[in-house]
């Protein structure tokens, strides 16, 4: 995928989340069933970095489970971060506005390494195989020794209701030839009409990306609590030095 197409898709998503931040936050439950299965891999305390934190619901979930982590949330959407900060009263939480697709974003973080990094519902918004691989490599570089990276990717093609949201690329001023296999444009109709770019990162692609990013898989599972497997989860670690 060329740089101009990738920028179009990234700008599309950035505009979407700023425009529909309130409606998006209201459409999400306080937690997802699959998050409970991630708990054994997440620390009881200490720093935790949540990349693509949105409106900060993972911070609330961890607190509800008795985790006393020093939560650091990163997102590029100022509108979502405003919601996150307003709702974080009583939590040990810091929110950082940074674009994880831009060079140097890690310099804005309060720590260089973390025992745990999460990137939930993030990777499928990154256009292009090489950009997804590069992001995973960057997240791996943020891990402390024996640290773990927890991911989830949206399996939206597993449900008929979501398949009906697929929209022709012309709606975003693009053609199918400009994007990659597995790329989709999805519509949004809550509080107005919007468009989002999503890539279908399935288990096979996730495993390949991890390997190319210097990471090894510790756990893989699908879970959304409704039996339709709408979220693919993975727990990754850095490969041991040779």
pLDDT at 48: 96
Residues 132, 123 contacting (CB under 8 angstroms): yes
Structure tokens at 236: 């990754």
Residues 139, 101 contacting (CB under 8 angstroms): no
pLDDT at 201: 96
pLDDT at 108: 94
User: For the segment 185-197, what is each residue's pLDDT rounded down to a tens digit?
Assistant: 999 988 888 999 9
- Residues in the chain predicted with pLDDT less than 70, given as ranges, are 29, 31, 225-228, 241-242
Domains located in the chain, CATH noted: 3-156+200-238 (3.40.50.150)
Residues 14, 194 contacting (CB under 8 angstroms): no
Question: DSSP per residue over the chain, as a string?
Answer: --HHHHHHHHHHHHHHHHHTHHHHHHTS-S--HHHHHHGGGS-SEEEEEEET-TT-HHHHHHHHTT-EEEEEEEES-HHHHHHHHHT-TTS-EEEEE--TTSTTGGGGSS-S-EEEEEEET-GGGS-SHHHHHHHHHHHHHTEEEEEEEEEEEE-GGGSHHHHTTB--GGGGT--GGGS-TTEEEEEE-SSS-EEEEEE---HHHHHHHHHHTTEEEEEEEE--SSSS--EEEEEEEEPPP-
Structure tokens at 99: 């674009």
Q: What are phi and psi of 232, to 5 degrees?
A: -95, 125
Structure tokens at 165: 């949201």
pLDDT at 23: 86
pLDDT at 22: 78
| Partners of 51 in the β-ladder | 74
Structure tokens at 137: 């490599």
pLDDT at 25: 77
pLDDT at 90: 78
In sequence order, which residues have a C-beta less than 8 Å from that of residue 153 and are 6 or more positions away? Answer: 121, 123, 124, 201, 202, 206, 231, 232
């Amino acid at each position: 995928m060329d740089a101009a197409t990738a920028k179009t898709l990234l700008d599309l998503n950035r505009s979407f989340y700023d425009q529909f931040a309130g409606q998006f936050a209201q459409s999400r439950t306080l937690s997802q069933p699959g998050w409970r299965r991630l708990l054994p891999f997440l620390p009881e305390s200490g720093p935790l970095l949540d990349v693509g934190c949105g409106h900060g619901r993972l911070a609330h979930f961890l607190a509800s489970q008795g985790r006393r982590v020093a939560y650091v949330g990163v997102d590029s959407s100022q509108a979502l971060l405003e919601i996150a900060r307003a709702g974080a009263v009583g939590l040990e939480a810091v929110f950082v506005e940074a674009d994880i697709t831009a060079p140097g974003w890690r310099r804005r973080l309060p720590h260089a390494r973390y025992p745990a990094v999460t990137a939930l519902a993030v990777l499928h918004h990154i256009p292009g195989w090489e950009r997804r691989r590069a992001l995973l490599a960057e997240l791996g570089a943020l891990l402390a020794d024996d640290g773990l990276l927890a991911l989830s990717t949206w399996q939206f093609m597993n449900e008929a209701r979501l398949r009906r949201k697929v929209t022709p690329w012309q709606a975003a001023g693009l053609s199918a030839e400009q994007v990659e296999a597995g790329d989709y444009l999805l519509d949004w109709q809550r509080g107005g009409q919007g468009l989002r770019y999503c890539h279908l990162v399935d288990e096979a692609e996730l495993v390949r990306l991890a390997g190319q990013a210097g990471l090894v898989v510790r756990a893989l599972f699908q879970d959304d609590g409704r039996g339709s497997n709408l979220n693919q989860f993975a727990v990754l670690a850095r490969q041991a030095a040779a």
